[in-house]
Amino acid sequence: MKRNLSLVLALVLALALLAACGKKDEPTVEETTLTAVGQSAPNFTVPTIAGGPFTLSDHKGKVVLVNWFATWCAPCVEEMPFLQKDVWEKFRGPDFTMVSVAREETLQVVHPFILKHNLTWPIGLDLDREAYAKYAEAYIPRTQVIDREGTIIFQSQGFEKEEFAQMIAVIRKEIGD
C-alpha cells in the first residue's frame, strides 16, 4: 500500500513538473502590441468625461496624441503631470490635440483622479476595452502620436523620461514648432 502511494505521488509530481515546463511566460510587450509606427491608426470612439464622444477620425488634419492609462497604474500616474505640463500646455491648439483613455474604469473612479491631478485635456472612458483592443492586448501606459494623415509616427509602452523626450521631439517636428 505504501509503495503504491509513493508511486502515485511520484507520478503526480512528474506530471506537475512536465506541465510547469510547458507553460509559457507572460507575453512580452511586443507580443501584445497590435500597432506599429508607419501604419494607419485604428479609428475608435470613446465617451469623454466632459460629455460627448472623442472619435479619432474627427481629428484628421491635426497631430493627435493618444494615451491609454488606468488610475491604479503607478507609471500612468507618474506620467500624468508630464503630459499636462510638457505636452498639453505646450502644444494644444489648432494643429494638435490629445486624449487619454482610461481602460476599464468608470466615471466615478476617473473623475476624482482628474480633479486630484489637475488634468485639463480630454479624458475618455473605455469601459469594455473595445478601443484599447485595437491597439494592444496588455500593458499600460501606452502612447501613440498620430500625424495629420492618421499614421502612427511614434508609440511607446511604459513611462521613461528619455523616451518621453523623444516623443516631445516627434510632436514638435510634426507640428513645425
Task: Indicate whether 122 belongs to any domain.
Answer: yes
Task: Indicate whether 15 belongs to any domain.
Answer: no
Task: Indicate whether 10 belongs to any domain.
Answer: no
This prediction has a pTM of 0.84
Q: Give the Cα separation of 101 and 88 in Å (integer).
A: 15
How many Cβ atoms from other residues are within 10 Å of residue 121's Cβ?
18
How many Cβ atoms from other residues are within 10 Å of residue 43's Cβ?
13
Domain count, the chain: 1
Q: How confident is the model at residue 18 (pLDDT cuts 50, 70, 90)?
A: very low
Task: Indicate whether 2 belongs to any domain.
Answer: no
**Average pLDDT score over the chain:** 90
CATH number of domain containing 71: 3.40.30.10
Does residue 143 contact residue 25 with C-beta atoms inside 8 Å?
no
Task: Indicate whether 7 belongs to any domain.
Answer: no
Hey, is 47 helix, strand or coil? strand
Task: Indicate whether 11 belongs to any domain.
Answer: no
In the predicted structure, residue 122 carries a pLDDT above the cut 70: yes
Task: Indicate whether 18 belongs to any domain.
Answer: no
How many Cβ atoms from other residues are within 10 Å of residue 17's Cβ?
10
Mean pLDDT is lowest, of 5-14, 77-86, 119-128, for: 5-14
Distances (CA, A) of 60 to 140, 146, 148, 150, 157: 25, 9, 6, 6, 24
pLDDT at 32: 86
DSSP letters spanning 86-153: IIIHHH-BTTEEEEEEEET--HHHHHHHHHHHT--S-EEEETTSTTGGGTBSS-S-EEEEE-TTSBEE
Residues spanned by the domain of 68: 27-175
Task: Indicate whether 20 belongs to any domain.
Answer: no
The residue-averaged pLDDT of 91-105 equals: 97
The residue-averaged pLDDT of 42-66 equals: 97
DSSP letter at 62 equals S
pLDDT at 3: 56
